[in-house]
Amino acid sequence: MLPYLKQNHTSTIINMSSASSDYGVPELASYSASKFAVKGLTEALELELAQYGVRLCEVLPPFIATKMLNTQQKTAKVMTKLGRHLTAEEVITVIEKQVNQPRTHRTVGSLYSMLHCLSSVSPPVINRLFMKVLSR
């Protein structure tokens, strides 16, 4: 598929990441790790494929009210504190924005957008403290 995308010169690849790619989330370590990997892959391939006109971007939703999350036997404390107020439809709207106006990282929801901005400018020790408080 990648050879076709390179020949097209106007392709966009949209990866699904998560708010968990900004912070290591206690009780969701493997999930966070996989989303950190998606973010790193997106950033690396964005630079690598730019010469072919291929855009790479990602969507970073926080916890979404879905059947999968609602039927979990155990819920991470951070999920309980931050809540799951967004819907799959809100994520779809953001994906549509990425199709039309791609940005490397696009968040879903105003609360997480604010947290995402703060995480990029605050010292790592503050980010860790924030996650510690949310996971108690």
Active site residues: 31
Contact between 58 and 40 under an 8 Å Cβ cutoff? The reply is no
Q: Is 9 helix (H, G, I), strand (E, B) or coil?
A: coil
Could you please report the per-residue DSSP string of 22-41? TSPPTT-HHHHHHHHHHHHH
Report the C-alpha gap between 17 and 9 in whole angstroms.
Answer: 24
